A and B are shown apart, each in its own frame.
Chain A
Amino acid sequence: MINDKDSQKIVDFIQNFARKQSLFVMAYGTGCGAIEIPATMTSRYDAERFGIRGAATPRQADVLLITGYLATKTLKRVIRVYEQMQEPKYVIGFGSCTINGGMYFDSYNTINALEQYIPVDVYINGCMPRPESVISGFVKLQELIQQGKADNGKKYRENLEWYRANQKKIIKNWKMPDYNW
């Protein structure tokens, strides 16, 4: 009765609904993208009406928002933050820099594609994306969550070796705790 397929569907629906309606965002404000976050959260665009609110620490956060380019130094911090977050967790790549490097595509110390290092659920393109596009990205993420397609943490756990190899290629002085899930 409890393990019935339909009752599992109902549980999933409630879980996904709660997850989608309450997104605690850890805004990792690298680069220039951070300037769009206050505009998104404050009175003109008001992301809180979608249940999106800021989280101060990775333990409480659901969404990791990478706003802009990642230098090789900051990539290390991003990985630490990402690994401290608890499942279910989601990542939003924000701006062209996280997709293909953007205007820093040939820089010696920035990474080009974020998804080589951590899995990404939703990309928001633009340089910079306006608050409207940021909110539409969040709505897209909510749709994915409702359909149960956003399984970022699972993807990372299953392909951990591949991601680790990529990360270690960039970060030469790897002095981080090795987690095993």
Chain B
Amino acid sequence: MIGNFIGVLFDGIAYGSLLFVISIGLSVTMGLMNFVNLAHGAFAMVGGYACVLAMTRLGVPFLATLPIAFVVSAAAGIVLERTLYRRLYRATHLDQVLFSIGLVFMSIAATTYFFGPQQQPVQLPAFLRGQVHVLGIDLGAYRLFLIGIVVAITIALTLLIERTRFGAEIRASVDNQQASAGLGINVYRVFSLTFALGSGLAGLGGGLGIDVLGLDPTFPLKYMVYFLLVVAVGGAGTVKGPLFAALILGVFDVAGKYYVPQVGSFIIYVVMVVMLIVFPRGLVGRHA
């Protein structure tokens, strides 16, 4: 029973880590630009399809496609931010929601056109497949790898935000845009770069997630709820908040489906509603 529980915990953490990688970009975007971007999942999808293309057309091995996914999504992010998103920073949240849903529809249709509606396959390298026997329990090799990558990304992100100048600029702009601009920080440049970073991470997450979450053109709509959930519960604009939220949600989702499969998905929504009532500003409450 304990063994089962640890297995479930492990699975939940792996799932949560994946949600975190994809959602962290959304958290920073929402906290920084106050922009409700429902199209965030589309950037993850772009990264996923970039991986698939690189693997099937260019024969690149899986691990090498991950940086490609990051770059492609980041590039898409910069282009869209400069041309479209920037115009809507002062728009109402509703307009932003409508706009981003429009983008989602376009991305789904375009992806269906170019790739077809079916699930995309991914060929993992042999050492990432199957299971690893650790301390008497079978743990999925790929999930171990996922957790490892996310730990690395979290550390890197935290260092970036806490220790670098750019990170300081982000933190300043999140706290008070006008004052930061007054201090000479090029707020718009911070926006662009942050948006690119967030989109890039989403793309990376999309590529990493093909094996766990699947990849088809309806990806952005299917998972949008989960990403928004992570950011709403964790609190926009931070790194730690979404991390905890993603892990909690991941564990509860997996545990719910394992122990009470008849009501499985129900549990995660109840948890979400409860957490939002108790922490209306998110787990690591920043300004609203």
Q: Do A and B bind each other?
A: no
